[in-house]
Chain A
């Protein structure tokens, strides 16, 4: 059964823009293929939420031409970064790079850290080998649309045995509702390398709702270690559709730290594919819902490798009329002996009108494994509030302590101090304090 879908893009326009932007033929074809797939494929099916009813009509227009790198840090992000000579930072506004800096030491070691379009021109073979290989364009209409429309984004390549101590950071700011907002993050960490990547997303308030179509692909080769931290703080007129995926080879490890601090609707999926023996994945998600937000978060780990291990923790605080569906999926494939997968999803509801649903799912096709899950949805415990108040603490402060206490087991585990502080501040803002 096929229904006529009105897509927010046109094949000819996409092809023409790609050609006008001087993109190589393979990329123009990849984009055109994305449009065709989008016509055939359905939207993803979300657990207990109808994405079909969301307003996904505005993906913006693909920008033509590359704005020359202005090397001017926009005022709006200046407070977020402590820019030093050795900082590694890329800032994009409306998908155009406004600032880019990679320390000479890292460049000398062969590290590539640039916007993805530049990478296509300068390291085309490398990009082509990995682009859309973890999140494939033919998965559903959203991944297809992303492959047609991606714009801006990052290419981070860390050669074999290179270990980078300081985090590489990028910031994405959307200031209008007309330009496509679809950055693609592509990270390749070669064998035995080590890197930390941190990004931030912001958007202004618009008249018309715009979609942020984000994909992050992380390739963790044997023995490599990647920390990927992302904080989404998009405005209420931005709908965030994000896929994050890591493929982890033998003895590699990936750590995801995700702050879901948006004000608009969100569909996000973070998935680690533990291909290699002894591969590891750790996911930490904190989220605060407010207003009438609809939020659908999925964390997922798929185990193929023997003795592979995954940890997933999601903690969400829900205010006002917000609704969250939180899915945790641990899948252990046949042959992944001695695998171990643990997951926890907890939702704290602050208002009788808020809704939260935690769905832990274990899919296990191998006998010799360990797996565990815990999920809870509850309101602030009034007995705890009474106890705190009986020591002279006001109700407001008592509730604050309980809410921060609820998030603390995740926040305090975040290995990057500035990120911890930033998240703390954003949580406060979202809680209206």
Chain B
């Protein structure tokens, strides 16, 4: 049973503290959403959990089924079951999408037990069809020349192929039109599982119309300032964030220089 626990997490970028003590507990089967205006530390949380080298964790702990995540390198975190669908995925020329994905899958397998090419291609083609992706994207260089929406679908494709235990979606809905949003949400919903947890970081409530969260957190000033059920997301959509700021006496919700 997946259990992902974040306690008192603090992180800095270039010496500036962005995360000021984050607590979260996500169990298998649960979907958590983190909402908040721009510049409140949401994406920093995603990057710090994945282990981006620019962010330094200064305090707190993160564990995955009792194992210390912060002790792990980025690739070890991924192999332990963590997956981050990135807001700005890298473009890598010369590496085809399918070669990359096969390397990622084989990184989780013992030497000599690599996935067979035929099985891999069949799986990839199937998932690409679900995501309504053009089959030629398998042979294109990784994210190179992909539109914003194509990159996001490609992130979801990777998630579906890798089958992680804890999925973080960082603004996966930004830059998507309504059709793409539906496709991406369907992809995520098809991955809902007793043993898989989700942390959805989003700016807008509209994604949560398609993916129903169990818990909604509001982030401001590098902290989770409010948590509740799905009704919290609906109120934020209707009334915006000002009432939260008023309730908590916050004038400037942002933290650091982060956009």
Contact = CB atoms under 8 A, between A and B. Distances in A.
Nearest to B78: A392
B134 interface: no
Interface residues of A, number: 24
B90 A383 contact: yes
B94 A409 contact: yes
Contact of B103 (A383, A393, A408, A409): A393
Contact of B94 (A390, A398, A408): A408
B94 A386 contact: no
B11 to A, nearest CB: 15
Nearest to B76: A392
Contacts of B52: 386
Looking at chain B's contact residues, is the secondary structure mostly helix, strand, loop, or mixed? mixed
A249 B104 CA distance: 50
Given A391-B104, A393-B103, A402 B95 contact: yes
A363 interface: no
B75 A394 contact: yes
Given A395-B73, A401-B103, A405-B141, A390 B93 contact: no
Interface in B70-109: 73-75, 77-79, 83-84, 86, 89-90, 92-95, 99-100, 103-104, 107-108
Contacts of B249: none
B6 interface: no
Contacts, number: 78
Interface string A387-411: 1111111110110011011111100
B56 to A, nearest CB: 14
A382 interface: yes
B93 A394 contact: no
B78 A387 contact: no
Given A382-B53, A386-B52, A392 B104 contact: yes
Interface in A225-246: none
A388 B50 CA distance: 12
B162 interface: yes
A205 interface: no
Interface residues of B, number: 28
Contacts of B77: 390
Contacts of A393: 75, 78, 103-104, 107
A3 interface: no
B158 interface: yes
Contacts of B90: 381, 383-384, 386-388
Contacts of A409: 93-94
Interface in B45-85: 50-53, 73-75, 77-79, 83-84
A381 B91 CA distance: 10
Contacts of A382: 53
B1 to A, nearest CB: 22
B239 to A, nearest CB: 36
A401 B107 CA distance: 13
B132 to A, nearest CB: 22
Contacts of B79: 392
Interface string A209-229: 000000000000000000000
A29 B73 CA distance: 69
A389 B47 CA distance: 13
B95 A392 contact: no
A277 to B, nearest CB: 35
A392 B162 contact: yes
Interface in A304-357: none
A296 B44 CA distance: 45
A384 B162 CA distance: 19
Nearest to A402: B92
A40 B123 CA distance: 70
Interface in B93-129: 93-95, 99-100, 103-104, 107-108
Contacts of B162: 391-392
A28 B110 CA distance: 66
Contact of B73 (A388, A389, A397): A389
Nearest to B143: A387
B75 A389 contact: yes
A414 to B, nearest CB: 14
Interface string B12-45: 0000000000000000000000000000000000
A405 B78 contact: no
B94 A392 contact: no
Nearest to A397: B103
B84 A390 contact: yes
Interface string A258-274: 00000000000000000
A387 B104 CA distance: 11
Contacts of A381: 90
B86 A387 contact: yes
A387 B90 CA distance: 6
Nearest to B101: A391
Nearest to A403: B94
Contacts of B107: 391-394, 397
Q: Give 6 closest A-B pairs by Cβ, nearest first.
A: A405-B94, A408-B94, A392-B78, A387-B90, A391-B104, A389-B74
Given A393-B103, A405-B95, 11 more contacts: A384-B90, A384-B92, A390-B84, A391-B162, A392-B104, A392-B162, A394-B107, A397-B107, A401-B103, A402-B92, A404-B95
Interface of A: 381-384, 386-395, 397-398, 401-402, 404-409
